[in-house]
Structure 1
Amino acid sequence: MTSYLISFVLCSGLLLLVYHVFLSRENLYRFNRFYLLFSLVFSMLVPVITVQIPHRLISNDIPIIEHITPVEQQQPAGQFTDEAVVGNNKLYAQQPVVSSTSYQPYLLPGIYIIVALLFLIRFILNLYRLKQKINRSDNLNLGNATLVLLDEDVTPHSFLKYIFINKHQYQNDATEPEIICHEQAHVRQLHSADVVFIELLQVICWFNPFMPFYRKAIQLNHEFLADEAVIKDHTDTPAYQYLLLAKAQQGNSLYLTSQFNYLTIKKRLIMMTKTTSEKTALCKKLGLLPVLAVAALLFSHKVMAYSLSAITTQADKPVKVTEAKKNDPTRPRRVLFATPSGSRTKHSIKDAPKNVIAAYDAILKKYNMQDGYGNIKEISDADTAALHALFVQMSIRQQDGQVVRFSKPLLPMPKNTTSKFWLAAWQKDKNYGVWIDGKRVKNETLANYKADDFDRYDYSRLTPAAIKSDGFRYQVDLMTRAYYADYYKTTMAYRPEKLEPLPERK
């Protein structure tokens, strides 16, 4: 999640920079409107796109994390550790063991939700204020828009189909037609839809520091579009410019509205006389394509692509680790990483004495597992229990320094539902192999069942070797209600913590 957020922020910042450098000074208002909105959507989607990088393109110079035995705290002279005997194994007295429950993982999500709610409340309050003004004021139909006549002295502004102007000025014909034309352009071109979109996006993505700059750029581009519409209908451009200068000191309007904004008057006056040739416009539009391609490459999620057949072949054949291969520098190494909080077992507040670590390594060494490359299935139940008793005495730092660790057991698989359609498909198509309650049955047996007779189904595609052996391509495992209830009860009753080695780094 952290990598997604960083990629989203950086990608949106890059595309906004491109806009200000190459597009913001060009008379490409409609294209710029699309580009700004597209940039935000693009920045949100790119980090979830997965790009596979062939393994051969990965440099051999990438550092590989080796297993390093954690440095233990030295015991002060004169201190002794009491011994205890568990079964046939000599263990050392356990340090105080604490639960791994921590509220730290909920801190950042909590902050995110609180701030998002504050932005949402602000948005709703602004909508409510606009609604109140509409209901309390006189409304006049103006074709595609509705005039809302306000008693207070405000700058003309619009939202959705409503144009807000001063009642006294309108009744005394003091509101220039260019002003009404400007606001009608906002209404006709649906600029409020862009504003609502960026406001809702800011509720979700408030952490992105570039969101206010996107909002400002989008609203300024709206002003350019409205000015363009006024100049098209009222051809006296200098007169309209003088009108803007004359009204530049009027009061502000509400936050959500498309405003007759005089704070950006200088830019608007410049852009009214700005022209962009078709050749320049085409070059700049085409020039964005490589920018988007680079952004997609930089901020997408990249994974290494391996040959599936090669991995399957290696997994099916047990490999005996010889001493020569063990010392081979090209041999894959185990990668150390912190155990996720949801999988972490019990641990000690303080570091365990180094003789606890030595006892843990000694048991693993019996099975050639001290570096994680032996056969974990060969470890006896007694030694597994002894390893667990030692493991929970370690601190988080010491546990994360082990290549063979314990983790919390998985919960039972949840219920899911199938349908009448799929039961018919599995019954008739011989490409499916069907198991009910762990037993292989003929496909036709499904005619005796209804969809709600099953509490769970699993569906998998077989490997080429398995297809050749069994004759069908897909395997369907179904659990009846009674079987699932028994499975759930048994799984919850026996949930030993799992002992497993860390994955390899290719």
Structure 2
Amino acid sequence: METLFIHIAKSSGLLTLFYCAYYFLLRKETFFNSNRWFLLSGLITSLLLPFLVYTKIVWIDPVSIPTINYSQAYLPQTIQDEAFKINWNYVFIAIYCIGFLALIIKFVADFYNLNSILKGKKIQQQADFKFIDVKENIAPFSYFDYIVYNSSMYTPSELENIIEHEKVHSDQNHTIDVIISRVFCVLFWFNPIIWLYKKAILQNLEFIADSVALKKISDKKAYQYTLLKITTHESCVAITNHFYQSLIKKRIVMLNKNQSKRRNSWKYYAILPALVAFVFLFQIKTVAQEKKEALEIPEAPANVDVYKIKNTTTDEELKEMTVKLKKIHNVDVEISEVKRNSNNQLTAIKVDVEKGTGRDQTIQIEGDYAIKSCGIIISVDNNNNKKINIITDDGIEKPIVVGDNLILNGTGSCKNKAITITSLTPPVPPTPPVFPAGPMPQAPTPDMSKMPKPPVPPSNPKDKAAMSKFEKEMSEFEKKMESFEPDMSAYEKQVEEIMSKHEAIFEKEMQKYELAMDKFNDDMEKFTEDIQIKYGKDSKEYEINMKQFEKDMKIFEKNMKLHEKEMKKMEKESQKS
């Protein structure tokens, strides 16, 4: 579930990134076809790029368990019973599904309405186009190769302009763009940017159709008058390219705008550094792996001595064994807690081994039955390094390293074996990082009294003097509106720089935290094994210790939930900024 939320958040962020690039860099350029493919590639990239994750492996050294007694260091902690809490993940999913289903129903209804308009109508086939002349009072539109209009509402010259416009939509398959943008609005309905993105796609399609159609129309003014006349029609069919749009002003401005210079095409590549930064910040997964120590087994040891202890070994033989170990290998061995049954067989024994380096090895066996064969093996490699291991009927067992002690884990065939581990401590979970805080720049507050008012179009579009005056007023209005954009652009740039620095710092801390968590999980596995060795998996002591450990892990999980809340709060503040 968390993965789904992260994917949606990343996709929404990429959509925002592409829309900002279009709005601030490409919106006023006349590269209409290039803008079309830029906007479509933004939708596809936002959906697919979050799936591409590069895994980076970081190797860390194995860490031994500290020598602190578990019973002293891991004190019980009181956990209060948690009251009923709302699972907000399920709430968010429910809200998303409601919006998703509502838009799906609306999508299907729009297709049904479109089909009801096209069904049963007389079709005129001309080349690759299918013309349908309807009687309904609806704005002209195209849907794939269908071009629908009401000829009774327009003069022949106006109808010719409209058909040329809709032919461009049909010929370039603009309906596909409309449907794709609509599907993304269904998927990301909660993100307001996607609705602005869809509007930008539809607006750019109109720019394309206007520019191509105008090349085939001799009277440019008449085409603009046709645009103004169509604004009186408010009934439009969804999921189609309809001639009526609420952006008539912008279309007229674009029709009269000079062609953009070729050198401005560099703006399309401005998005690439941002995408590379996105991959390095969010699409690289760091995995920590512990270096595996190569098990040093001499190929041809110079000397191997085995000192086996059987259940029939006498006290004299045990004493003789300790003398040999001291004399030959300078190893101090103390044998104690020896118990025998009625048949003089060993049922309990404790062997303490000190190699002379301060590192001890201890094996303790006790029970009601005679022990099986076990003992000590000392191997000397070619570098004259000595290794001490326990030997059982099943072979040599590697000792566990616990601080300065070597503890023989004794999982061999010695019956009723209880290995004494002198000290244990649980690993301490790392503390999650906190997103760096800092002051944000003051957002510019525009003076609404200084905002220009848009001019009112003349009531009679055929009045050339009034239309000329209206065009001049529109040009002045556009220039005045542009004066308000620099303040907002500067403010957004400041916020972006500050948030980028904070995110870079936080990302580094999160990488360290993730590495520490991987190490913590490995340490927990070792700690669990040591607890099992000390108390036995079925013993009461093991059960008590593991219950206490589970309680402490609940506290840790509670702290992690608090960390997640802080992260969500940080994200909300970032979005608000």
Describe the shift of the 1:125–1:321 C-alpha distance in structure 2 as closer, same or farther (beyond 3 A).
Answer: same
Q: Tell me, yes or no, if the aligned pair for 2:427 and 2:524 is still in contact at 8 Å.
A: no
Tell me the residue number matched to 2:108.
124
From 70, 75, 78, give the equivalent of 1:72.
Answer: 78
The answer to whether 1:180 aligns with 2:155 is no
Q: Structure 2 regions of 5+ residues with no counterpart?
A: 60-72, 297-397, 406-425, 433-522, 561-577
Give 1:104 deviation, angstroms: 6.7
The answer to whether 1:246 aligns with 2:229 is yes
Cα distance in structure 2, aligned partners of 1:220 and 1:189: 15
Tell me the residue number matched to 2:182.
199
From 10, 31, 56, give the equivalent of 1:7.
Answer: 10
> Over residues 409-455 of structure 1, what are the superposed CA-to-partner deviations in whole Å (9 max), with x where a residue is unaligned?
xxxxxxxxxxxxxxxxxxxxxxxxxxxxxxxxxxxxxxxxxxxxxxx
Q: Secondary structure at the match of 2:149?
A: strand
What one-letter code is carried by the residue in structure 2 that aligns with 1:17?
C
Q: Secondary structure at the match of 1:313?
A: coil
Q: Which has the bigger relative contact order, CA under 8 A and spacing at least 6?
A: 1
Q: Tell me, yes or no, if the aligned pair for 2:144 and 2:175 is still in contact at 8 Å.
A: yes
From 544, 549, 554, give the equivalent of 1:386.
Answer: 544
Instruction: Give the length in aligned residue pairs.
Output: 331
Describe the shift of the 1:68–1:47 C-alpha distance in structure 2 as closer, same or farther (beyond 3 A).
Answer: farther
Q: Tell me, yes or no, if the aligned pair for 2:142 and 2:166 is still in contact at 8 Å.
A: yes
Q: Tell me, yes or no, if the aligned pair for 2:54 and 2:283 is still in contact at 8 Å.
A: yes
Give 1:297 deviation, angstroms: 3.0
Cα distance in structure 2, aligned partners of 1:70 and 1:5: 41
Give 1:144 deviation, angstroms: 1.9
Q: Secondary structure at the match of 1:210?
A: helix
> Over residues 205-225 of structure 1, what are the superposed CA-to-partner deviations in whole Å (9 max), with x where a residue is unaligned?
323332111110000010001
From 202, 215, 234, give the equivalent of 2:198.
Answer: 215
Cα distance in structure 1, aligned partners of 2:76 and 2:216: 77
The answer to whether 1:313 aligns with 2:293 is yes
Q: Tell me, yes or no, if the aligned pair for 2:185 and 2:194 is still in contact at 8 Å.
A: yes
Describe the shift of the 1:105–1:158 C-alpha distance in structure 2 as closer, same or farther (beyond 3 A).
Answer: same
Cα distance in structure 1, aligned partners of 2:14 and 2:269: 19
Q: Tell me, yes or no, if the aligned pair for 2:77 and 2:552 is still in contact at 8 Å.
A: no
The answer to whether 1:134 aligns with 2:134 is no
Q: Secondary structure at the match of 1:20?
A: helix
The answer to whether 1:152 aligns with 2:132 is no
The answer to whether 1:26 aligns with 2:29 is yes
Cα distance in structure 2, aligned partners of 1:4 and 1:16: 18
Give 1:111 deviation, angstroms: 3.2
Q: Tell me, yes or no, if the aligned pair for 1:70 and 1:401 is still in contact at 8 Å.
A: no
What one-letter code is carried by the residue in structure 2 that aligns with 1:219?
L
Tell me the residue number matched to 2:314.
none
What one-letter code is carried by the residue in structure 1 that aligns with 2:9?
I
Q: Secondary structure at the match of 2:292?
A: helix
Cα distance in structure 2, aligned partners of 1:318 and 1:264: 79
Tell me the residue number matched to 1:51.
54
Cα distance in structure 1, aligned partners of 2:295 and 2:174: 58
Give 1:134 deviation, angstroms: 0.5
Q: Secondary structure at the match of 2:164?
A: helix
Q: Secondary structure at the match of 2:133?
A: strand
From 228, 239, 252, give the equivalent of 1:256.
Answer: 239
Describe the shift of the 1:69–1:166 C-alpha distance in structure 2 as closer, same or farther (beyond 3 A).
Answer: farther
Tell me the residue number matched to 2:557.
400
What one-letter code is carried by the residue in structure 2 that aligns with 1:256?
I
Cα distance in structure 2, aligned partners of 1:315 and 1:205: 54
Cα distance in structure 2, aligned partners of 1:314 and 1:71: 40
Q: Tell me, yes or no, if the aligned pair for 1:13 and 1:210 is still in contact at 8 Å.
A: yes
Describe the shift of the 1:210–1:323 C-alpha distance in structure 2 as closer, same or farther (beyond 3 A).
Answer: farther
Cα distance in structure 1, aligned partners of 2:524 and 2:206: 69
Tell me the residue number matched to 1:322.
403
Give 1:304 deviation, angstroms: 2.1
Rg larger in structure: 2
Alignment of 1:61-460 (within 5 A): 72=78, 106-169=90-153, 173=156, 175-272=158-255, 273-281=257-265, 283-298=266-281, 300-304=282-286, 306=288, 311-313=291-293, 320-322=401-403, 334-335=429-430, 372=527, 375-378=530-533, 379-380=535-536, 381-382=538-539, 383-387=541-545, 397-398=554-555, 400=557
What one-letter code is carried by the residue in structure 2 that aligns with 1:400?
E
Describe the shift of the 1:314–1:180 C-alpha distance in structure 2 as closer, same or farther (beyond 3 A).
Answer: farther
Sequence identity (%): 25
Q: Tell me, yes or no, if the aligned pair for 1:157 and 1:164 is still in contact at 8 Å.
A: yes
Tell me the residue number matched to 1:413.
none
Normalised to the residue count of structure 2, the TM-score between the two structures is: 0.50
Cα distance in structure 1, aligned partners of 2:152 and 2:135: 7
Q: Secondary structure at the match of 1:158?
A: strand
Q: Tell me, yes or no, if the aligned pair for 2:56 and 2:284 is still in contact at 8 Å.
A: yes
Normalised to the residue count of structure 1, the TM-score between the two structures is: 0.56
> Over residues 257-305 of structure 1, what are the superposed CA-to-partner deviations in whole Å (9 max), with x where a residue is unaligned?
1121341111111212331112222x2233333233233334x333225
Q: Secondary structure at the match of 1:250?
A: coil
Cα distance in structure 1, aligned partners of 2:198 and 2:115: 22
Quote the RMSD (CA, aligned, Å).
4.2
Cα distance in structure 2, aligned partners of 1:291 and 1:157: 38
Q: Secondary structure at the match of 1:207?
A: coil
What one-letter code is carried by the residue in structure 1 that aligns with 2:131?
L
Tell me the residue number matched to 2:326.
none
Q: Tell me, yes or no, if the aligned pair for 2:429 and 2:556 is still in contact at 8 Å.
A: no
Q: Tell me, yes or no, if the aligned pair for 2:76 and 2:548 is still in contact at 8 Å.
A: no
Q: Secondary structure at the match of 2:401?
A: coil
Give 1:178 deviation, angstroms: 1.0
